[in-house]
Structure formats: structure tokens, C-alpha cells
Amino acid sequence: MGTLTAVEQTLSVNDWMNRAAASIEAQADHLTQLDTAIGDGDHGMNMMRGMRAVTAALADGDPDAPPGKRLILAGKTLVSTVGGASGPLWGSALRHGGRALGDTRELDGAALVGVLTAALAAVQDLGAAEPGDKTMVDALGPALATLRERLDAGDPLEAALAAAADAADEGARATTPMQARKGRASYLGERSVGHQDPGATSTALIVRALGSALVAPA
């Protein structure tokens, strides 16, 4: 270790959303298959349409907007373009996450913890899902807890993000044996057991995309 204090890395909202959109697009058929098993088969299409609109809105948006404003724009865009449950849920997550940032110009690790804390709270306020209900909460919750733990332990942001993404993947996989208690899949009762939740799966992709949004310190 050098004697200089490491300059904190920050994240680009546009890069985050662009990468998330690309990986959702690449996995759209898989997300649709998962939603066909326990829902109505539109999750891949919903998220793809929404994220395409988000990247377009950000590309057209104010190039000087701070990260909070960009997240609010992304959230509003998701709400207005996605019909399924995932639109309002992720939309409100990003809007609240953006609001938590205020006018901060640097989206560093601590700020990201604030964003994801507000995002998770927004999802739970709106959808009333608890951990274990087989929803996106089961991916986002572990991702946030891991990110916070690793940053508190002094890990660099890049390593903490990788650990958070692994926790989100693990959380998504752990939804397979769960019985859905929220959303469309809950109508299936016990027949929802044995399938991975589509929303938790796309959430893990969105969390993984954070690792591609790191901006090298100036």
C-alpha cells in the first residue's frame, strides 16, 4: 500500500443504465422464460422496453445534470414506459434513490449505499414485499447489505461492487425454492416453488452493471 490516500472512485449513472440495458437485452429471452413459468411472460419485454427508453432519455438529457437528477429521470421513464409491476417498482426505486442524492455531483460508495437504501425502501413501501417473498427484494436486499458491509470493512468500491453483485446473484438463485407471496406469481401458490423469480434475476443484472459504471479518479 502506498502512503497516499486513495482517491475515492465514483460511478456514472449513464454508464450504469447503459450497461444494465445491454445486459437485460442480452438476457431478455431468459427473463421472459422465467416469467412464463410463474407469471405472464412479459418480464423480458417489460424491462427491455423500459431500459431502452431510459438510455434514450439519459442520452437526450442535460449533460450537466448531477447523478441524482439522472436517476430521477431514469425512474420516471421506467414508470411511464413499463406496464408490468416491475416498471413502477424499479421506477420508484430509482426516483427515490435519485432524491436521496440531492445535488451531490459525486456518486461514490457511501452515496451509492444511500441510493440503494432509498431504492429498497421505495420498493418495499410500494410493493410490501418482505425478504423471502420471492421478489426483487431478495436480490436487492442482499446486494445492499453486502455493499455496506464491504465498504465499512474498507474494501475499495470495485471489490465491494463485485461482492454485492455476487450477493444479488446468490439472492436471485435462492428464490427458486421459495413460494411467492407477492405479485402475479403468488396466485400460483405452491406451484410457484421450483422456479427462479424473474424480477430478482433482472435485479441481479442491474446490480452487476454497477461494476461497469466506475469512473477512474481524476
The single residue among 19, 43, 95, 182 that binds Mg ion, judged by CB under 5 A, is: 43
Dist CA 118 CA 143 (whole Å):
13
CB-wise, 11 or 115, nearer to ligand ADP? 115
136 contact choice in Mg ion, ligand ADP, none (CB below 5 to 8 Å, kind-dependent)? ligand ADP
- The whole-angstrom separation of Cα 31 and Cα 38 is 11
Residue 43 as a binder of ligand ADP (CB under 6 A): the answer is: yes
Residue from 10, 18, 32, 42 binding Mg ion (CB under 5 A):
42
By CB under 6 A, the residues from 120 to 159 that bind ligand ADP are 123, 127-129, 135-137
Stretch that binds ligand ADP, among 39-47, 57-65, 150-158, 209-217 (CB under 6 A): 39-47
Q: SS3 letters for the chain?
A: CCCCCCCCCEECHHHHHHHHHHHHHHCHHHHHHHHHHHCCCCHHHHHHHHHHHHHHHHHHCCCCCCHHHHHHHHHHHHHHHCCCCHHHHHHHHHHHHHHHHCCCCCCCHHHHHHHHHHHHHHHHHHHCCCCCCCCCHHHHHHHHHHHHHHHHCCCCHHHHHHHHHHHHHHHHHCCCCCCCCCCHHHHHHHHHCCCCCHHHHHHHHHHHHHHHCEECCC
Of the candidate spans 15-23, 27-35, 65-73, 143-151, the one that interacts with Mg ion by CB under 5 A turns out to be: 27-35
Choose the one of Mg ion, ligand ADP, none that binds residue 77, judging by a C-beta under 5 to 8 angstroms depending on kind.
none
Region of 7-15, 55-63, 84-92, 110-118 interacting with ligand ADP (CB under 6 A): 84-92
Count CB atoms within 10 A of the CB of residue 214: 17
Amino acid at 177: P
Q: Does 198 bind ligand ADP (CB under 6 A)?
A: yes
State which residue, 42 or 133, has the beta carbon closest to Mg ion. Answer: 42
Among ligand ADP, Mg ion, none, partner that 122 touches (CB below 5 to 8 angstroms by kind): none
Work out how close the CB of 85 gets to ligand ADP at its nearest, in angstroms, rounded to a whole number: 4
Interaction site with Mg ion (CB under 5 A): 35, 39-40, 42-43, 84
Interaction site with ligand ADP (CB under 6 A): 35, 39-40, 42-43, 46, 84-86, 89, 123, 127-129, 135-137, 182-184, 197-200
